[in-house]
Amino acid sequence: MRWYPRHISDAARRFRKDDRGSALVELAISLPLLLLVFAVIIEGSRLFWAYQMTAAGVRDAARYLARIADSDSCVSGASFSTHTDKMTEIVRQTSTGNSLLPSSITVTSVSPQLICISGAFRQSPVPIAQVTATIEVTFPFGGVFGLMQGLDDLATITTTVTDQSRVFGA
């Protein structure tokens, strides 16, 4: 059988009107994007969860320090630096101890501090226990940021979490 221009145009017309595989092609085009969006949502949620757990650990450490410190710490000139190891243990245990999945947050340092606030209070100066944790956040998709110019330094960031609690004494 010999193909004439009329037969070729008829075959092209039939091919153009045939849509049997179009849904599969659309799925193949959109599936990688949908999977990437889904993965970013899951990893972002895990990152926020880990940050909240770390903030809760800093809060717990500040409350613990406020309960074990003396109520006259400002008058006696006490220092909270002797409690650094215990505060670090509380923050690290809370931030990583209860997690089902490995955290992308690393606690690099924890520092307890005594702040004395003077004023017209019943007890002056008022002792405040402050705990500050320096954390390093590693983004799960840090390698993707490296592909874009100017965002390659966003793979890991360092930030601090601070909480304060009034010292009531032991």
Instruction: Answer whether 0.85 is exceeded by the pTM.
Output: no
φ, ψ for residue 125, nearest 5 deg: -75, 155
Query: How far lies 36's CA from each of 28, 41, 43, 148, 152, in Å?
Result: 14, 9, 10, 16, 19
Residue identified by tokens 């179009």 is 22
pLDDT tens digits for range 77-103: 788 888 889 998 998 888 776 555 566
Q: Name the band, by pLDDT with cuts 50, 70 and 90, for residue 1.
A: low
pLDDT tens digits for range 31-65: 988 888 887 788 788 888 888 888 999 999 999 99
| H runs (alpha helix) in 22-137 | 22-68, 73-76, 84-96
> CA 12, CA 123: separation in Å to the nearest integer?
92
41 alpha carbon, distance to own chain's centre: 13
> CA 166, CA 113: separation in Å to the nearest integer?
12
Contact indicator for 57, 135 with CB cutoff of 8 Å: no
